Structure 1
């Protein structure tokens, strides 16, 4: 200190903990602004003394900051952050200390997420501050000068605060001094360490401030926030929306463990378990863990009795090497396997005062994720079934057996459940046999389920029969289920009646199903089916009301149905908006409807993008639709189309064999087309027989087989097949048989059938019937019928009437009749008209009045 009044001087000294400077008596008065006190043995670490070497907060990787590593996913060891309830509190407190100095301490269990909260908060509020994280106490003490000199631009980070506490490290006077100096400190401490320090204070701490522990004084000087190990319901809901599979998996185990705890402790415990199998390590303990893990893999969710672990762990120990590993004793093994590592996590978690145990869930998940998952010993499956019977766990064992493809174990589990009187066991056995194609056994178990009180067994039997195209038998079983009050049966009965055209009865059962499901969240979506029926029968107001109620209640599929209804009502822009909203919520059919809309506007590229989106959202039928789209695009797209047709075939998408046959037929590859058309017939796909007939029609030498298929389809009432069969029979001079097939079609207004029938009757020399059919077809604009009628009239010498028909044929598109007209005029001495038609025969057709057959544009039905 120096001035013109006071001489300068310096003070030096050594102290282990603190120093004091004071003046007694008379002399110069002096004030101390800053005093730096350190041990005489101080050795400043090079990097700590260099402020410029401290990293900026924004430059830090979470792992560098101290965040625990999670299991690697797509190259990332740290999952996306999930907002915690305490975040806003921590943010406010850290903002305060970053501005004016002080300490913020986060208290919580190990792996509760304390470090991650601080990291994410600092990234937001102080990305440009330099972070100092001392290595130990001496590092902290040695860097005080540098910290204070750069207090505005830096922040001290003390993860696991207990490491820095003590006379040679952080003390309450030092915290107070740093706070006054404006230094910001962020710190964490584990709950158990916090409790240990708190308990050092005497019981009467509030009565005598002098006896408070130094740690208590530090707490009083700073601000604290509690981070809970178990996440709140709001936090779990946010975590459940994460796109990271690790976080989703952790949520599934949140009943016992915190999300951060599960993600952080899991990899460490897995590594420790993996190492423990070594000689003279903890192979017996590792075997106990493996036994508990395999019970969980076998579907047992209840704790495993100690006796079972002791009995079965020898199987795993022997497989690993047995006595050669020099395994530890049983009590030592249990002690090692149950020792708490972080939070409440340990490889084996004791239950019921140590009478039973369960494996840490992460170890189970890790074993199940392994592509080369080891099989579970047969003896353990037997014990698992026995344990499940006493713990209501047979469903879990059966489901696990299915995953391991152990049908006998699955059957045994469901049979035991059924024997206990639970109809679910019988239902699941029915489904198992149905999937194996063993329908008689499936019927047996579905009927057993009905006996045990579940009438849905009738519905399942009905579905099998409907799949076999036995509609009348299916209806009978649906009706039994419906009359027993089963909403599933009511729904399928209504669907079947709707297909059969019985709209009134269909609506009745839909309404009864809706009533039966009132108050339930039904996956059948019966109300949607009712709304669809109402929309089809033009009761749009009620249909719209049902859809809107469903939308308001959060039913995303209702957005799609409402869009379909609005599109039918001419409100296309509203429909498109609703479909886009539905796509954003993951509704695949909405993407399909947007694709169909684009195709109707001939926007094939846009349609492809929507089909791709539908596929992403899980629609298998969209795979086939995309293949068809690519096929229509032609050229190089056909190679890509083939890939999607193959995928649709592998997925067994309805109609894929039919469409594949069309794909090959369009390219003239008729042998391949016939192969897939036959497959389509075998699968009973709609219109498959007609397709096979039409392809065979194009292959020389296959006319007879084509006729057989045309006949089969025609007998089913298909007009197009009846017409084609009539044509083939006429060509074969089987006129009477041809009349039989052509007449119903002609009477129904089919102009091709009428024209062909006119020709057949002319061959049969039945002029009245021939003329009647020609006239009907010609008057409907069929050029060939007009031409044929003209020839018939000429044969009977009715020249003027013939000329009128020929002129109609010409203007309808038959250019060749101009020559016939010219000859008629010339032969009758009408030279001027003959010259005119000679000219026309050379110049071609004028703009035709119309087309031979007027076809309406068929809109594809939207996916509701």
Structure 2
């Protein structure tokens, strides 16, 4: 491979660190080009291997725009190709790409509270403090490259291209947050970084997200467990806007929240399950591999790493964060420090059952005695609690403490938080230990702000009285959700009298529960009800269930018709499905077509399709496309079968038969037209796409507009929009909004471009706040 090599240019304009504007970027790239001719650069680009399925390419117009005109920010791939053919490769490209990123994001608004990734403080993002070898030092130890770093950085880079979520799964103190921080700094140094304080902050940002922003969600469970949680829809909105979401989560949290729903139980993790499906999850091992330890040994001139390597049992990262020492301080406290041990245990149990807010002094003082023997309680010194707190907050090896005070002002403490590593270990050690009743009572009394998680845990741990206490207290503040939960639990407990008292006192939810109870009783007395049908199915009385469903379906009950068709299909009862389908039951028709495919009854499927059954036609077209039956698909498409036309177009694309696809488009096949346009975009054959749009091919206009927007061809989008291309007008508005070009958007609005006013209003809309909805 021959590159356009030259001796390095010593011009000061070659320093990418000084590039902040588009003209400066063009000047720097021009200096890097030196005396290389366009022809030499284009030829060198043609010899480069494909990247991401597309072959790198440069043209005279592209080069002229890169180093001279500076009309629009070039694409990242174009810059990478240019740098490569100029002899700048590998890590040497990083400062140039950082410069490109600064230029790219220069005109984008800065999210409130955000800063550049390269300016972020790792400690504030959740990276644990390290053990100290030299007193007074609190910097982080050198980073030891992990085996998964390359894959992680490639994954973050891929997420940055279209928006994506990357989740590192690993236990506390295994190095996941540090690895994620290093990856973000290496791949996205110039992006904005937003570290929301709570789930409400994430939801607010998702209302009007800023592209090229990293949303940092370390310890994701803290956001998921807050009232309202993180709806998967909010994360989808962020990803659609090109945002990168970086998160960490413990393995048991991933397992619990992604597990399938247990039939008959409340699906409490339904939203979390959908959210986790959006993430690229990577596991972080608990211990260093042989190669990682070898790399750590090369950094052992740092005394902290040297000490961590001397421990054979715990992982290197856990030792650096003083994790094993924290466990030892809690579980093996000296005899005289039993009060400190009790306070730590009370804190760990509180967090184990859902307390996330700082644990108050009142709670710790009320709960700690439950973990002391009668003798220890009787002989406690007057200052036992102060002594216990001093023991719990004392740093271990200068790195971490069992409890960390959280300030509420100068010299004032709001409460205490437990160390993550300690909490994770305690969850395993004490998972079968019941939380003492006095501790539950202390939580009810002193931690009502954590009522949602605490009450949920109390219910699941068989402590309904404590859950009722929490719900009752919160409902007294006017919280309608707590009132609803309270009333539901009272119904489960059969406490109808209290429910009736609440209804008489004006609780509309209690009144609704009473009405629902009466209706449920009526339903139990009506065997034709859907509940009875489900009960019959559970008892394997299928015939009786079918009879009841048939009776309701024939009377016009659509939900019964849907349920009946599923039941018949599950039993393979083709004859009745045929009968119902022929009489106009669309649910039966859909089920019948699927069943015919499943049983390989292609001839019957074909006959039904020919008779006008659209469900059969759709299933047949899919089956023929799957089997590669081009000839039959072509015959059916030519005969007017739109499903066959779509299947044929998809199959021609899959087989690379572009000429036939083109012929069908020219013959008026609208299904083929859309697929041809998409294929031309994928192959980079934009000029042909332009010609088809200019010739009046409507289906090609959308793909061309999307391509122009992706490559930020503002001027061509504007020209096409002015010529009446609605797709171009829409994409132009979106692109101007993404670049925060307010003046241009206002011009489009004055010109009457649809959606320009709406996008302007969206940009200028103040951040959403919960109180705004009240």
Q: TM-score, normalised by structure 1?
A: 0.28
Q: Taking CA–CA contacts closer than 8 Å with sequence separation of 6 or more, which of the two structures ends up with the larger relative contact order?
A: 2
TM-score when scaled to structure 2? 0.30
